[in-house]
Amino acid sequence: MRSLITGGAGFIGSHLAEQLIARGDDVFILDDLSTGSVENIRHLKSSSRFHYVFDSLQNRHLLAELVDESEVVFHLAAAVGVRLIVESPVRTIETNVNGTQMVLEAASKKKKLVFTASTSEVYGKSDKIPFREDSDLVLGPTTKGRWSYAASKALDEFLALSYWKEKKLPVIVARFFNTVGPRQTGRYGMVLPNFVAQALGGPAITIFGSGQQSRCFCDVQDCVQAILRLVDSDLAVGEVVNIGSNQEVTIEALAQMVKQRTASSSPITYVPYDEAYEPGFEDMLRRVPSLEKLQRITGGRPMTPLHSIVDRVVAYFRNKNAGTVVETERPLPVLVPANTEAEAGGTVAL
């Protein structure tokens, strides 16, 4: 199979490219390197199955050519990270909405399958836990730039599903929940790489807010396996599906886990949201996915424990600091069938 990944030099995109090549696919990536990095894909350049173009989705002729060459399009290109969203709301909205529209338009001409990456952010301030794909979305006021990302990704979903309903373009929409792992940067506010970098380099591990907000962290390789299984299933076409872990951990407990597993002497400090981002910044106390739909379509769900994910990220940063990009090897993950007790979720203990 021939695949196109927009945003393929990014964190998730580079891991997806790896696995597609490993299973024998030809992979094309299109990335403007605004948030992606050549370092993420340098090790793939020696493969005859890997092809890359550093350009913008705004190059319609190039995009049309790459889409035409491909059987499936993985649309991952987006503005990412809370800090980037707060500081550059115009870029966030334009990148997400315009980019998605152009990809769908190009794919629609020959009915190419499009996997569209969305986010748990679209659930907004909903308190209906766990978040189900058919739940209402509860966003904050338009005067809060914080919600521009969620609104833009929700519009991406509307666009994708409209192309499916009106133009019969096969689409799959996936809402990612805090995907983490090697190669993720803390540059735009990603919490785990920031914690690990601070624990290894000091002087302090910094928590924004009270630290009592909880999240569910999914290993990037588990995420990629879920993506591939969804794309291989006819049941996923025209659907919105959560991808993530449902094992909760508070941000404070995550900081303590990182401190413990790095044997760091860095103290843990707290910075109010108003100082970290902008006055009146709003955040969600909990964000937990329902994985029933993912389980039904793919036959499994992500199961990598948080301490293993943290250890891989720590190993990556230590290798990077030592001047090597070798990552901790691990077997290709398998989505594990869920049981009733595990599907209910839980809180990660240290």
pLDDT at 347: 41
Q: Check if CATH label 3.50.4.10 holds for domain 180-216+247-286+304-347.
A: no
pLDDT at 188: 58
pLDDT at 120: 95
pLDDT at 348: 41
**Spans of all domains in the chain:** 2-178+219-243, 180-216+247-286+304-347
Q: Would you name the residues annotated as active-site residues?
A: 149
Tens digit of each residue's pLDDT, the chain (350 residues): 999 999 999 999 999 999 999 999 999 999 999 888 999 999 999 999 999 999 999 999 999 999 999 999 999 998 766 666 667 778 778 888 999 999 999 999 999 999 999 999 999 999 999 999 999 999 999 888 778 888 999 999 999 999 999 999 999 999 999 999 999 987 656 899 999 999 999 789 999 999 999 999 999 999 999 999 999 999 999 999 999 999 999 999 999 999 999 999 999 999 998 887 777 777 888 999 999 999 999 999 999 999 999 999 999 999 988 876 544 444 445 455 544 333 434 444 33
CB 280 within 8 A of CB 274: yes
pLDDT at 205: 97
Alpha helices, DSSP H, located in the chain: 11-22, 60-69, 82-87, 89-108, 148-167, 191-201, 220-231, 251-261, 273-276, 292-298, 306-321, 340-343
pLDDT at 41: 97
Determine the residue type at 265.
Answer: S
pLDDT at 189: 61
Domain 2-178+219-243 CATH class label:
alpha beta
Overall residue count recorded for the chain in this entry: 350
Per-residue model confidence as pLDDT tens digits over 134-188: 999 999 998 887 788 889 999 999 999 999 999 999 999 999 999 999 999 876 5
Across the strands, what pairs with 175? 118, 242
CA of 16: how far to CAs of 9, 23, 223, 224, 270, in Å? Answer: 10, 11, 9, 6, 35
The single residue listed with the structure tokens 């990077």 is 320
The single residue listed with the structure tokens 């309903």 is 165
pLDDT at 185: 83
CB 216 within 8 A of CB 287: yes
